[in-house]
Amino acid sequence: MADQTVVVDVKDLVKRYKEVVALDHFGLQITKGEIFGLLGPNGSGKTTAINCILQLLTYSKGSVALFGQSMGPTRYDLKRRIGIVPQQVAVLPELNVRENIDYFCSLYVADRARRSELVSQAIAFVGLGEFASFRPKKLSGGLARRLNIACGIAHQPELIFFDEPTVAVDPQSRNAILEGIRGLARNGATVVYTSHYMEEVEQLCTRLMVMDHGRSVAVGTATELKAATGIGERVAVELDAPDSDVLATIRRLPHTQHAVLEGSMLRVDCARGGQNLGEILDALNSLSVGYGRVYSEPPTLNDVFLELTGAELRD
C-alpha cells in the first residue's frame, strides 16, 4: 500500500502584489513518494505558489507545513530536506562538474568525507562520470541540465522541486532525465514537477493539479481529469470528395461539438456518451461519400488543459 504520509500541506494561501491577487486561497496536499505535476498557463500562480511553499516569498494569509511541521523562513532544518532544480541552468562556470556538485552539496553537508560520497553518487545517478572534469561550457545542453539536476539532488533531499527540467534538450537527454526522476521517487523522494510538455507530464506524474488565476481548478490523475471534462473522442476521416454539405450534416449530429474540414480531412470533436464513430460513418454512407483512413482517439491531457484554462495566449 502506498505511503499516505503528507509531505506538503498548503492551506488557504493568499498572496497579493498590490491590486493583483497572485494566489487566491490556494490549497495543496502531496503525499510521500508522489511525482506531483503542477500545471498552469503563464501567470497562473505556479511559481508564486512554489516560492511561498519554500518561504522565498511572504504571503498575507494561509499556512504551509512540510513533513508535518510548520514551515517558516528560518526553518533551516526543513530546508535542508528540500532540493530545487531551477528551469535555468544555475551552475558556476569556473568550476568543473564535480566541483560544482560538491559546492552545492556543501551548502547542506559539512562533512567532507560524506560529501565526497554523495557527490560521486550524484555523478553516477545522472550519468556524468566521463564528464566529471569538464567545465559547464564544454557540456551539451542536455548534459548541462543533468549537471543542474545533480547539483539540486546531491544532498539526497526528501522533497525535490523540478521547474521545466527538460526544456530544449534532445530526446535522449529527456528520457534520461525522466527516468532519473522516476528513480528518485522509487528511492523514496517526493517530487513536485512543473512543465508545459503535457505528454511528458502524463507519462511521468502520479497526480496532477491544474492552476489558473491563483487557484486550483482541477486535481487528480491524468485519467481522472480526462473523465471529469466534457471532452469525448476526436474523430478524423479522410474523405474522397469533401464538400460543405458533408460538413453541415456532420455538424447536425447529436454528439458533434465541433467539426471542420482541413483539405480532404474531416475532423470532429464529439461529446461523451454516443456511438460517435458509427454515427459519423453512417452519415457519410447516407450521403454516398467515400472515405479512406479513419482515426478515433480519446482526449489528450493537452485538450483537458485547454478546456480548463482557455485557449487564449498568455504573456
* CATH assignment at residue 254: 3.30.70.100
pLDDT value for 206: 96
Q: Look up residue 52 and give its amino acid.
A: C
Residues 140 and 102 grouped into a single domain: yes
Residues near 289 by beta carbon (within 8 Å), at least 6 away in sequence: 239, 240, 241, 242, 246
pLDDT value for 3: 65
pLDDT bin (cut points 50, 70, 90) of residue 307 is confident
- Mean pLDDT of the residues in the chain: 93
Give bridge partners of residue 218 from the DSSP assignment. Answer: 210
pLDDT value for 243: 86
pLDDT value for 26: 98
- Where among 227, 253, 282 does a domain terminate? 227
230 vs 76, more confident: 76
Residues 186 and 246 grouped into a single domain: no
Residues 82 and 118 grouped into a single domain: yes
Residues 54 and 189 grouped into a single domain: yes
Residues 215 and 256 grouped into a single domain: no
Residues 50 and 133 grouped into a single domain: yes
Question: 13 φ, ψ to 5°?
Answer: -75, 135
Residues 208 and 247 grouped into a single domain: no
User: What digits encode the pLDDT tens for the residues 70-101?
Assistant: 999 999 999 999 999 999 999 999 999 999 99
Residues 219 and 242 grouped into a single domain: no
190-194, strands of its sheet edge to edge: 82-85, 159-163, 190-194, 35-39, 207-212, 215-220
- Domain tally, the chain: 2
Residues 137 and 240 grouped into a single domain: no
Query: Is the residue at 58 inside a domain?
Result: yes
Arithmetic mean of pLDDT, 237-250 = 92
Query: Is the residue at 307 inside a domain?
Result: no
DSSP string computed for 113-142: HHHHHHHHHHHHHHT-GGGTT--GGGS-HH
* CATH assignment at residue 81: 3.40.50.300
pLDDT value for 278: 93
Residues 212 and 240 grouped into a single domain: no
Query: Is the residue at 156 inside a domain?
Result: yes
Residues 29 and 100 grouped into a single domain: yes
pLDDT value for 313: 58
Query: Is the residue at 132 inside a domain?
Result: yes
C-alpha cell, 290: 467515400
Q: Could you tell me the residue range of the domain that residue 142 belongs to?
A: 6-227
Give bridge partners of residue 65 from the DSSP assignment. Answer: 9, 70
Query: Is the residue at 305 inside a domain?
Result: no
The answer to whether residue 153 scores a pLDDT higher than 80 is yes
- What is the enclosing helix (H) or strand (E) of 3? none
- Where among 227, 255, 276 does a domain terminate? 227
C-alpha cell, 41: 498557463
pLDDT value for 120: 97
- Where among 227, 258, 277 does a domain terminate? 227
The answer to whether residue 299 scores a pLDDT higher than 90 is no
The answer to whether residue 45 scores a pLDDT higher than 50 is yes
- Measure the CA–CA gap between 302 and 286, rounded to whole angstroms: 34
The residue count for the chain: 315
Nearest to 135 by CA among 109, 97, 169, 79: 97
pLDDT value for 272: 80
Residues 165 and 183 grouped into a single domain: yes
User: What digits encode the pLDDT tens for the residues 159-181?
Assistant: 999 999 998 888 888 898 999 99
pTM for the model: 0.86
The answer to whether residue 1 scores a pLDDT higher than 70 is no
